[in-house]
């Protein structure tokens, strides 16, 4: 059974304090690894798709990386507006295109 | 391109009633998936429709059903509502061109009293 586990569940940072969120995945052949940002009461907003180990993608203060077992979302010099829940999901090559989602990391950035 | 749209955004129903939610995917996207999101269970997959056919189904009771129209718009129906059906219902669309990246709508907040 495919599994995606995110850690930590919650993270509090001071503005400017860089950190990383972890996403560990167990799928039968990774097809794609996805990161989303979700604000309270809203739908997840797509951030990145990663396909192979060693791949990296960046957007503003966010950088996503991928290894054969996990993905990291690095947040550099975060601002209060980066506060949100970050969701990770993975699809497997042997199955459907339906992703398995992690429970998310709730990030709060204090000014 | 316009994003995924969902209507209505908020709904309040009572137990035993039924409800229909609507989703319009991104133009050109033929796959539409539905999810239920609650604080306790996270994002749970309901079903996926592609070219008017249900292609995948999650582990939900038969009270949850859906359909897709020829223009790729989709509806989800929940009959005989229960208190536990209160949730954020999310629709996501995907292009059929080999990518499996899903794009989500804003969601419909359903409250069952």
Tell me the mean pLDDT per 10 residues along chain B, length 113.
93 98 95 94 93 93 97 97 97 81 96 97
Name the residue among A98, A25, A5, A30 with its Cα closest to residue B92. Answer: A98
Instruction: Report the alpha-carbon distance of residue A14 to residue A77 in Å, rounded.
Output: 9
* Contact yes or no for B101 and A32 at CB 8 A: yes
Name the residue among B31, B16, B14, B36 with its Cα closest to residue B80. Answer: B16
| B25 touches A at CB < 8 Å | no
Instruction: Report the alpha-carbon distance of residue B101 to residue B113 in Å, rounded.
Output: 35
Q: How many helices (H) and strands (E) does chain A have?
A: 0, 11
Instruction: Report the alpha-carbon distance of residue A75 to residue A67 in Å, rounded.
Output: 18
What confidence score (pLDDT) does residue B98 get?
63
What confidence score (pLDDT) does residue B97 get?
65
* Contact yes or no for B101 and A101 at CB 8 A: no
Q: Which residues of chain B are within 8 Å of residue A91 when distances are taken between CB atoms?
A: 100
| Residue range A32-87, pLDDT digits in tens | 999 999 999 999 999 999 999 999 999 999 999 999 999 999 999 999 999 999 99
Question: Cα A100 to the chain's mean position, in Å?
Answer: 13
Which of A41, A44, A98 is opposite residue B104, by nearest beta carbon?
Answer: A44
* Contact yes or no for B99 and A49 at CB 8 A: yes
Which of B4, B31, B43 is opposite residue A101, by nearest beta carbon?
Answer: B43
Q: Which residues of chain B are within 8 Å of residue A42 when distances are taken between CB atoms?
A: 106-107
What confidence score (pLDDT) does residue A84 get?
98
Instruction: Report the alpha-carbon distance of residue A68 to residue A70 in Å, rounded.
Output: 6
pLDDT exceeds 80 at position A96: no
Mean pLDDT over A11-33 rounds to 95
* Contact yes or no for A46 and B104 at CB 8 A: yes
Name the residue among B42, B39, B36, B9 with its Cα closest to residue B92. Answer: B36
The residue to which tokens 């797509």 are assigned: A46
pLDDT exceeds 80 at position A94: no
């Amino acid at each position: 059974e495919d599994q995606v586990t995110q850690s930590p569940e919650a993270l509090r940072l001071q503005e400017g304090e860089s950190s990383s969120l972890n996403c560990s995945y167990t799928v039968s052949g990774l097809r794609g690894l996805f990161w989303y940002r979700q604000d309270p009461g809203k739908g997840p907003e797509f951030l990145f798709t990663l396909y192979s180990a060693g791949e990296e993608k960046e957007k503003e203060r966010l950088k996503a990386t991928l290894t054969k077992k996990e993905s990291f979302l690095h947040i550099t010099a975060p601002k209060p507006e980066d506060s949100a829940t970050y969701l990770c999901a993975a699809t497997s090559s042997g199955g459907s295109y339906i992703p398995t989602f992690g429970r998310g990391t709730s990030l709060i950035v204090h000014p | 391109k316009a994003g995924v749209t969902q209507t209505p955004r908020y709904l309040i129903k009572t137990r035993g009633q039924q409800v229909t939610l609507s989703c319009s995917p991104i133009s050109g996207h033929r796959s539409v998936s539905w999810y239920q999101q609650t604080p306790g269970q996270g994002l749970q997959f309901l079903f996926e429709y592609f070219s008017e056919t249900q292609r995948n189904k999650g582990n939900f009771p038969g009270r949850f059903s859906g359909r897709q129209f020829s223009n790729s718009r989709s509806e989800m129906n929940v009959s005989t509502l229960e208190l536990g059906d209160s949730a954020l219902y999310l629709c996501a669309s995907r292009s059929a061109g080999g990518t499996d990246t899903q794009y989500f709508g804003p969601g419909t907040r359903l409250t069952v009293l």
